[in-house]
């Protein structure tokens, strides 16, 4: 069973945190905000994550935030060493997330009042490869070097069709941040 964390206990003080999936998606947007420098993005995200003032130790506060984002799971390697760019965007792929959760779980992501981030991510991990969301992620992350020429051509067309609309510099930075978050590395210098 998943223990649904709602706070972090630091130095004898309980710090309540934001836990709804929509709030954590908003947190991710704050971490990727191109209009702020790295230090401001981190502080903006940390201040948002903690419902009250964050712990004084900013590094510890950030580490806890990243642990929560990863659902306190061990860091994972990239989906594919050969894949370029992000596999998905919560914002741009919102219709695909909506339809996948509704069709597979009967969960209406627009109408649900609250869904803990850990549950949202567990459900994401359990999505059938038959959902359009997982198909699109597959198109974006497939290792084309293991395919024949016709299949490569087909996948390149599908990648263009389902490409995420972000600038190349932002795409590279966001991919680096996502990989760092999932692999347990720090994000300093990436934001």
Cβ distance 98 to 110 under 8 Å?
Answer: yes
| Other residues' Cβ atoms within 10 Å of the Cβ of residue 73 | 12
Q: Is the pLDDT of residue 13 over 70?
A: yes
Query: Taking residues 100-112, what's their average pLDDT?
Result: 97
Contact of 155 with 142, CB cutoff 8 Å: yes
User: What pTM, to 2 d.p., does this model score?
Assistant: 0.81
Least confident span in 49-53, 80-84, 90-94, 174-178: 80-84
Q: What's the whole-number average pLDDT of the chain?
A: 87
pLDDT at 182 > cutoff 60: yes
- Taken in order 84, 90, 92, 97, the sign of the CA dihedral is positive
Contact 75, 180 (CB under 8 A): no
Angle (CA) 108-90-115 rounded to 5° is 40
Q: Could you state, in order of their start, the residue ranges of all structural domains in the chain?
A: 94-166
Question: In the chain, which residue ranges form alpha helices assigned H by DSSP?
Answer: 21-31, 38-49, 58-69, 94-105, 117-125, 132-141, 149-161, 168-183
pLDDT value at residue 152? 93
- Distance of alpha carbon 106 from alpha carbon 148, whole angstroms: 38
């Amino acid at each position: 069973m998943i223990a649904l964390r709602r706070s972090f206990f630091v130095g004898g003080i309980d710090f309540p945190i934001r836990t709804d999936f929509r709030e954590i998606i908003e947190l991710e947007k704050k971490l990727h905000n191109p209009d702020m420098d790295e230090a401001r993005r981190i502080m903006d995200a940390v201040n948002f994550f903690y419902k009250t003032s964050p712990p004084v130790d900013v590094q510890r506060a950030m580490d806890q935030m990243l642990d929560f984002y990863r659902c306190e799971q061990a860091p994972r390697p990239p989906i594919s060493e050969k894949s370029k760019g992000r596999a998905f965007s919560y914002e741009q792929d919102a219709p695909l997330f909506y339809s996948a959760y509704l069709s597979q779980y009967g969960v209406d992501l627009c109408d649900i009042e609250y869904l803990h981030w850990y549950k949202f991510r567990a459900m994401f991990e359990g999505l059938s490869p038959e959902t359009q969301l997982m198909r699109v992620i597959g198109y974006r992350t497939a290792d084309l070097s293991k395919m024949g020429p016709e299949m490569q051509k087909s996948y390149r067309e599908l990648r263009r069709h389902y490409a995420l609309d972000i600038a190349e510099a932002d795409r590279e930075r966001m991919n680096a941040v996502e990989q760092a978050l999932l692999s347990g590395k720090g994000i300093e210098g990436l934001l």
